[in-house]
Amino acid sequence: MALQESVTAGNYTLQVETVVEGLEHPWGMAFISEDRFLVSERNSGTIRVGSAAGGISEPVWTAEDMFRYEGETNRSQAGLFDIVLHPEFASNGWAYISYSRETDRGAAIAVIRARVVQDSDGTRLEDVEDIFVMKEEDQDSSGLHFGGRMAFDPSDNSLFLSIGERRNISRAQDASDQAGSILRMTESGEPHEANARFEVEDEEGESDPYLFSIGHRNVQALGVNPVTQELWAVDHGPQGGDEINLVAAGNNYGWPFVTGGKDYSDAPLGVGDGMEGMTPPAHVFEKTKAPSGLTFIPEGTDYEDWSGDMLIGAMHAEAVVRVRIEDGAVAGTETIEIGRRIRDVQLGPDGHIWLLTEHSDGQVLRLARAAD
């Protein structure tokens, strides 16, 4: 599909503008001012600074200890992932960065934080420190299903982090394992005191203290609704079965027992739509979207008809998916075809919708309402 110059979405016509080109599989972005943003490049492990005027810097930080799977497959999903800003970024300057770190056992999901310094010498990251490193016994050398998406809860500045099941489906149901889950930690990386304790079948095992929810396959779209403070996650299905979940502490979201998809061999998976003790999804997509990146449309924007809606990036569908949410339930969806694999979606300080495209020659796109 070719990149669209304009798209019709709901009652709006949106102009599609290419702001930056030439990025190496961009993964996450975060605005550090009204017109400047950080953007991560997955394969090269670098962070650059972009501008709304179209500028892009040389790398300002590189993950020197990054894991990138090297083997017969070119399907490695490892690398540099998300960037999110602390809710009090304006005063403390903290940016949080997730990536796959090389270890003796293979790879660990790691989160670091760094202070973003902006002065006459440019933009740089200082005071870099580890916040979280996946525990040693959960590390392995798979190049798949890292998760890596983050979201802050501004009510207490706690941080959510998704970790995929590393292409080992049984790990999503093991509450002693950090894989296949959503974790919650404090802003400095300790387990959150409100996390649930899950039952563990192994008598010698213990529920991991970081676990907020389990039973996830590979969540790469995660966000807190700024009005309701609810956590929403969109999970990759296997072959079909991409699903939206309203996530609460202590819930098990069922993978691989509850899924709307099937194995890549076309063999059936799971037991169907529900299973006792497992929370069903809020919505299952009939067609594969490959969801990545999530944001909400608040009141007071140019998109007044979309207030409260969720926007999800869709790589396979080459689109943005708009989700209408009413009373904590999915009331409808609209697929807005862009013509590029959309890795991340953000609402910028300018009120426009900003997108990252998941390509070796990746782009930063801006969607803006056309004049009525």
**pLDDT score at 264:** 79
- Does residue 145 sit within a domain? yes
What is the tens place of the pLDDT at every residue in 233-263? 999 999 899 999 999 999 999 999 999 888 7
**pLDDT score at 102:** 96
- Does residue 168 sit within a domain? yes
Give the gyration radius of the chain's Cα atoms: 19
**pLDDT score at 362:** 96
Give me the count of residues in the chain.
Answer: 372
The per-residue b/e assignment along 180-217, b for 16 or more CB within 10 angstroms, e otherwise, is: bbbbbbebebebbeebbebeeeeeeeebbebbbbbbbb
- Does residue 346 sit within a domain? no
Strand 243-247 relative to strand 283-284, pairing: antiparallel
Q: What percent of the chain is predicted at pLDDT more than 90?
A: 87
**pLDDT score at 68:** 82
Gap between the Cα atoms of 254 and 264, Å rounded: 19
Q: 265: domain CATH number?
A: 2.120.10.30
- Does residue 318 sit within a domain? no
Compute CA distances 310 → 86, 226, 307, whole Å: 21, 11, 9
**pLDDT score at 76:** 87
Which H helix or E strand runs over 92?
A: helix 89-92
- Does residue 322 sit within a domain? no
User: Which residues are CB-contacts of 13 (< 8 A; sequence separation ≥ 6)?
Assistant: 6, 7, 369, 370
pTM of the model: 0.96
**pLDDT score at 256:** 95
Gap between the Cα atoms of 236 and 242, Å rounded: 5
**pLDDT score at 204:** 62
- Does residue 30 sit within a domain? yes
Write out the DSSP string of 220-239.
Answer: EEEEE-TTT--EEEEE--SB
- Does residue 215 sit within a domain? yes
- Does residue 372 sit within a domain? no
Per-residue pLDDT of the chain (372 residues; tens, 9 = 90+): 778 899 999 899 999 999 999 999 999 999 999 999 999 999 999 999 999 999 999 999 999 999 986 655 567 899 999 999 999 999 999 999 999 999 999 999 999 999 999 999 899 999 999 999 999 999 999 999 999 999 999 999 999 999 999 999 999 999 999 999 999 999 999 999 999 999 887 766 799 999 999 999 999 999 999 999 999 999 999 989 999 999 999 999 999 999 988 877 787 887 777 788 999 999 999 999 999 999 999 999 999 999 999 999 999 999 999 999 999 999 999 999 999 999 999 999 999 999 999 999 999 999 999 876
* Dihedral over alpha carbons 167, 343, 127, 139 (to 10 degrees): 0
Q: By residue range, what is the domain housing residue 274?
A: 24-289
The type of residue at 210 is Y
Q: How many domains does the chain have?
A: 1
What is the tens place of the pLDDT at every residue in 134-171? 999 999 999 999 999 999 999 999 999 999 999 999 99
Number of Cβ within 10 Å of residue 361's Cβ equals 10
